Structure 1
């Protein structure tokens, strides 16, 4: 059973641990070691609401969602998702994306755009496609993958 709720400061340490474990692999997110606890706090708690997925073992995933850009781009939402490594492949990511799409619709956004999906993150690309996203563009060799070197990143889009 997965419960998704608004994150609180009580969740911060668990969320930071998930973030650290995901960026450590160097294969899905553009953040590196310079993205410290303070930057994480600003990005996940100060700029837009964050949500967590929990089960009996605690926080197993999270997402942050808001306007992709201010002003004339504020009708398009964007989101970032992370799932604890031991919970990956168990439907947590799908539940988080669905939850964010429902929120985006209810908040009046007309679409959701992901600005930077690493092309080699096949599980995420396929998940997004299965939920209505399409690849709107390719950024050639835009991501410095820890093992594979330079790989493409996608801009993905879904009308709501």
Structure 2
């Protein structure tokens, strides 16, 4: 598996799994009335952010975006988001993307990384982020309207570098 910078030509290949994950309603609070055009700026980051793809034998397995958590006085803390194509889950793609994002942020001089909204019922992601050194700082109760489970909490997770 290779992780590389995403190009504009990758977006049409990312969008199908982006749409499937968003529409499933279990992990992301993006609007569900998205189109390939309207969703592009939500995922394809501009500098100082970065979007990457995980690819194997010409097939996209997943993608991540990363950059400053907030502008200005909050720009010393990084954030990131991750999506693994459901057809390729369970192959270590999320861990590889997560490790890549942490190392990218460290090497870019960020002092830590914060995830603002990890759905508490997404136990696979929560466990992975904890394995990569993140701590649940707090949980905002009923902050996410999960398609299956109704109102569930969102974890704020953090790792200091």
Q: TM-score, normalised by structure 1?
A: 0.95
Give the conservation status (yes or no) of the 8 Å contact 2:12–2:36.
no
Superimposed CA distance per residue, residues 43-63 of structure 1 (whole angstroms, 9 cap, x where no aligned partner)? 223533210000125111000
> Which residue does the alignment assign to 1:147?
148
- Residue 99 to residue 46, structure 1, CA distance change in 2 (3 Å): closer
> Which residue does the alignment assign to 1:63?
64
> Which residue does the alignment assign to 2:81?
80
Superposition map of 1:8-19 within 5 A: 8-19=7-18
> Which residue does the alignment assign to 1:38?
37
> Which residue does the alignment assign to 2:53?
52
In structure 2, stretches of 5+ residues that fail to align are: none
Quote how far apart the aligned CAs of 1:21 are: 1.2
Secondary structure of 1:108's counterpart equals coil
> Which residue does the alignment assign to 1:109?
110
CA RMSD, 1 decimal = 1.2
Q: TM-score, normalised by structure 2?
A: 0.94
Superimposed CA distance per residue, residues 74-123 of structure 1 (whole angstroms, 9 cap, x where no aligned partner)? 00000010000011111000000000111000100000000000000000
Secondary structure of 1:50's counterpart equals strand
In structure 1, stretches of 5+ residues that fail to align are: none
Secondary structure of 2:153's counterpart equals strand
Quote how far apart the aligned CAs of 1:32 are: 2.9
Quote how far apart the aligned CAs of 1:14 are: 1.1
Q: 2: distance between equivalents of 1:45 and 1:124?
A: 21
Q: 2: distance between equivalents of 1:80 and 1:127?
A: 13
Q: 2: distance between equivalents of 1:137 and 1:81?
A: 20
